[in-house]
Amino acid sequence: MLKGKVAIVTGSTSGIGLGIAKELAKAGADLVLNGFGDASEIEQIRSGIERDHGVRVAYDGADMSNGDAVRNLIGRTVEKFGRLDILVNNAGIQFTAPVDEFPAARWDAILAINLSAAFHGIAAAVPQMKKQHWGRIVNIASAHGLVASTHKAAYVAAKHGMVGLTKVVGLEMAGCGVTCNAVCPGWVRTPLVEKQISDIAAQKGISQKEATNELLAEKQPSLDFASPEQLGGTVAFLCSAAADQITGTAISVDGGWTAR
């Protein structure tokens, strides 16, 4: 389905991004992986995807907190592969604190990585996608792009911003073969959420299992996590011909979180 296409997935050395990268590779896309981590583990991931799916996979360690680095990632990819078809803006971080105690440096970092990186990536990618008359931009927002929770001022602001940016880009690209959509996951069990489970367990003096049940029961009516593979499947669908007319919208994969 995506044979001959080239995809960048930011923040794909772990969690949801890795799940998305694998699903796109399964569909035949060549890939640029991005994100932090141990060099030998990243190389194992890279060569594993290449071997399992028979696609070309490169790794680029660009820091998504730096706008120029994001733009250079796009430029290097086009130079290396000769094209760019799919950009998945997925890299993200979390920090929780009441708004009046929220460290300004954490606010700046979350806004930079979770929102501004998508702006820089899209701005740099769109001319190439327009030239090709085909492109898919998928922004990994969150249920927190649609509704709020306490103690997540920066994250909720950034993710709402991501949904707004998605609408603008969807409108600006309408009719050029380039779509832009947001995916809004509920809880997905990744390192980003493991930390929040540990925090609940520590604060309340309960076990990891009890904290996990509390986390799900509070927000996610299905009482189950969405998986990185399911998020990958959603992104692959948005890259398919069935989604040619889906643009400027947000798709929830949240076990019912935002239905109530």
Positions in the binding site for ligand NAD (CB under 6 A)? 11-17, 34-37, 63-65, 90-93, 113-114, 140, 142, 185, 187-188, 190-193
Pick the catalytic residue from 59, 81, 107, 155. Answer: 155
- The CA distance from 189 to 230, in Å, is 12
Query: Minimum CB separation from ligand NAD for residue 68, in Å?
Result: 13
Here the tokens at position 208 are 């990891």
Q: Of 113 and 154, which CB lies nearer to ligand NAD in the complex structure?
A: 113
Q: Which is nearer to ligand NAD, 15 or 170 (CB)?
A: 15
In angstroms, give the least distance from the CB of 208 to ligand NAD.
Answer: 16
Which residue, 102 or 134, has its beta carbon nearer to ligand NAD?
A: 102
Count how many Cα atoms sit within 13 Å of the Cα of residue 69 in the half-sphere of its side chain: 14
Closest distance to ligand NAD from the beta carbon of 131 (Å): 26
- Tally DSSP H helices, then E strands, for the chain: 9, 7
Phi-psi region of 120 (alpha: psi -120 to 50; beta: other; left: phi over 0): alpha
Shortest distance, CB of residue 136 to ligand NAD, whole angstroms?
17
Nearer to ligand NAD, 37 or 54 (CB): 37
φ/ψ (deg, to 5) at 58: -110, 160
Contact 228, 19 (CB under 8 A): yes
- Is the Cβ of residue 77 or residue 114 nearer to ligand NAD in the bound state? 114
- CB count in 10 Å sphere of residue 14: 19
Between 66 and 240, name the residue whose CB sits nearer to ligand NAD: 66
* E strand spans, 110-186: 135-140, 178-185
With a CB cutoff of 8 Å and minimum separation 6, the contacts of 92 are 11, 113, 114, 140, 192
Q: Is 155 a catalytic residue?
A: yes
Write down the least CB distance from residue 176 to ligand NAD, Å: 26
Compute the least distance from the CB of residue 34 to ligand NAD, in Å. Answer: 6
- 189 by Cβ neighbours in 10 Å (0-12 / 13-18 / 19+) ranks as middle
CA dihedral 104, 187, 221, 213 (to 10 degrees): -90
Instruction: Select from 35, 233, 195 the least CA-distant residue to 45.
Output: 35
Q: What's the token pair of residue 195?
A: 């930390």
Q: Which residues are catalytic?
A: 155
